[in-house]
Structures are given as structure tokens and as C-alpha cells.
Amino acid sequence: MLAGVTAAGLLQLWVSDIPAAPMVVLPIVAYSVARWVPGPAARIVAVVGAIGATLGPARWMAGEFSYGMSLRVTILYLVVASVCLGLIVTPYAIGRRVRESGEAHRDRVVAAEERYHLLLAEREQQGRLAESRARTMIARELHDIVAHSLSVMIVQAEGGRALAAKRPEAAVAALDTIAETGRGDLQEMRRIVGVLRAEPERRPSAPYTPAPTLADIPELVHRATDRATLRILGLPPRVSPAMELTVYRVVQEALTNFLKHAGPDATASVTLAYGYRDITIEVVDNGPGPVSSPGPSGHGLRGMAERVTSMGGRLEARPLPKGGFAVLAILPINRPQGAMR
């Protein structure tokens, strides 16, 4: 359109010495080029308009120039040329402004879409991380339940078989312990697996049971084996349920490893030291350790380390130089500022 108007303007400049009505299309052309032509190419309309604003008034006022270049003629020429130039430059400036506003709006829309996609990706990643943490926690709980229960049942079964001929009443007690441990842990496993399998809207409302606490540790040691002794130093402090569960699971897993790897003649010592700033758990046995036991290693130590680390503590598990294995866990107690001992 710009090329056609330019060609028509040159033709009019040659055949006519007066302004023509079709020249009203020039501001529309200037606006359209500025609005829709990208980059520096749109400046062509300003250059063509400036040339036309110079040549057009000169052609129209050719008769006036024939009588001489007076001041009145010069001023009149400049006024007419300025008006013609303004009819090109003003629509051009408006068109460029509208184009820049449209591009800025598109950039804002694109940026908003990118932020929205980033937000969706971040939410999806957070959901996957939460799901991974939940799977890890459930796997850790199942491992603690299954490993400890099976270890206790195996030890009780071996002890009951050894005592069946000499002390039948001890064998009966061992069988009762096996049955009680199996029933309790089977019920807990069914509850966890049922929650995992059922849909959220179809999950039954399972009865709530309290989580293990520090007061349940003596019963845990007693039920696990008679080859382990428990020593408690200090008074149990007030800690969060998560901290109590962590202490309980660390003792449980350490006893499980003792029953699995230490051998039938080994003994273990469990020490719980309740301090003002931390809780120290130490489980030491005199068995050969997991190195001499057949089969692949499990995930007990890693699970204990994850539990202790999540509570801000540290865990050390190592074989002793003279035989045996030691597990040491130190868990800090987060007390409110100003609390008295």
C-alpha cells in the first residue's frame, strides 16, 4: 500500500499542481505501516512522508515562486510543509505507540504463562517429593515392624525349641510371646497396607492407637529377648511424640540387628541417658557382628540414620575392636527458652 501511494503521489506531482482529495489516505497509510510493520522498516513511511511534504507544497506553490522568494511566500511554504509533515509524523507516532503497547502486553502474557507453567512444575515436583518422603517413611515403618517382629519370633522359636524338652512351661511362654507379637504386628501391617491400597474416599476410619513412647521401651527390651539388659540414666524429659517415636525405633532396630547378627550366645546392653540437652542411646553387644552373618545387608542402619538426622541428631554404628557391635545415637532436646531444669 505504501509503494502504491508513493507511485500515485509522484504521478500526481507530475500531472497536477493542486492538492487532490485522495491525499486523505496518507495518514491512514502512515498509521498502518507504523502499527503493523516490525523493526526499522517502518521508518520508510517517515522518510517518504518527509520527501512528499517537501516536494508537494513546492509543486503547489510554483506560481508564487515565479514572482520571487518573498518572506510571505517562504513562511507560507514552511507552514504548508509542516502541516503535510505533521499529517504523516503524527499517525506514525501513534501507530508505533500502539504497536509497542501491544508488544508489551504480549510479553506480559507470555511471562505470565511461563510463571504459571513454572508454578505448575514446582507444585508437581513438590507433590513428587512429598510422595517420595511418604513412601520412604512408610517403608521405614514397615521395615521396623517386620524386621523386629520376625527377629523376636525367630529368637523365641529357637529358644522354645531348645527348652521344649527340659522346661515345657518356658516353651509355652515362648509360643505365647510369638503369637502375641505376630498378632499385634500383623494388625498394624494390615492397617498400613489397607490405607495404601484403598482409595481416599473408600478408606475406612481406622481406630486411632497411640504411638510408642519412652515408657514403652522397657517392655520392648523385655519382649525382644532375655539376653539384653536395659539401663536408664536420668528421668525421661518432655519431648515431642516424634522424638519419642524416634528413640523407640532406634532401640527397636538396634535390638533387631542384635538378634539377627550377634548369634545365639551373645548378650547386649541398652543404655538410655536422659540429659538436659540431649538423649543418648547406646546399644552394645559382644557378638561377631554383621560381617560374619550370611545374606545381604538390610536397610536398618540407613533407616536409623534417617530418623536420627531428621530430628537433628547424629548416629554412629561401628564394630568394636575386640568383637561386638555398638550403636550410638545422640538426639538433641529442643527446650523452650528460659526453661528450668
Cell 550377634 locates to 262
pLDDT band of 187, cuts 50, 70, 90? low
pLDDT score of 19: 73
What pLDDT digit, counting tens, does each position of 88-117 carry? 888 888 988 998 898 899 999 999 999 998
Whether residue 262 contacts residue 291, with contact meaning beta carbons closer than 8 Å, is answered with no
pLDDT at position 332, please? 92
- Cell digits of residue 215: 515408657
Closest CA to 260 of 226, 298, 230: 298
* pLDDT (0 to 100) of residue 256: 84
By mean pLDDT, which of 17-26, 39-48, 86-95 is the weakest? 17-26
Banded pLDDT at 190 (limits 50, 70, 90)? low
Which pLDDT score is estimated for 341?
A: 40
Mean pLDDT confidence for 239-266: 86
pTM of the model: 0.48
- Reported as a pLDDT band with limits 50, 70 and 90, residue 271 is very high
What string of DSSP letters covers 40-74?
GGGGHHHHHHHHHHHHHHHHHTHHHHHT---HHHH
Average pLDDT over residues 117-143: 80
Comparing CA positions, the residue from 308, 315, 303 lying closest to residue 136 is: 303
- Is pLDDT larger for residue 311 or for residue 59? 311
Residue 295 pLDDT class (50, 70, 90 cuts): very low
Please state the rounded mean pLDDT for residues 195-219. 66
Percentage of the chain exceeding pLDDT 90: 15
Residues 6+ apart with CB under 8 A from 227: 266, 267, 268
Q: How confident is the model at residue 327 (pLDDT cuts 50, 70, 90)?
A: very high
Given this model, what pLDDT does residue 336 score?
47
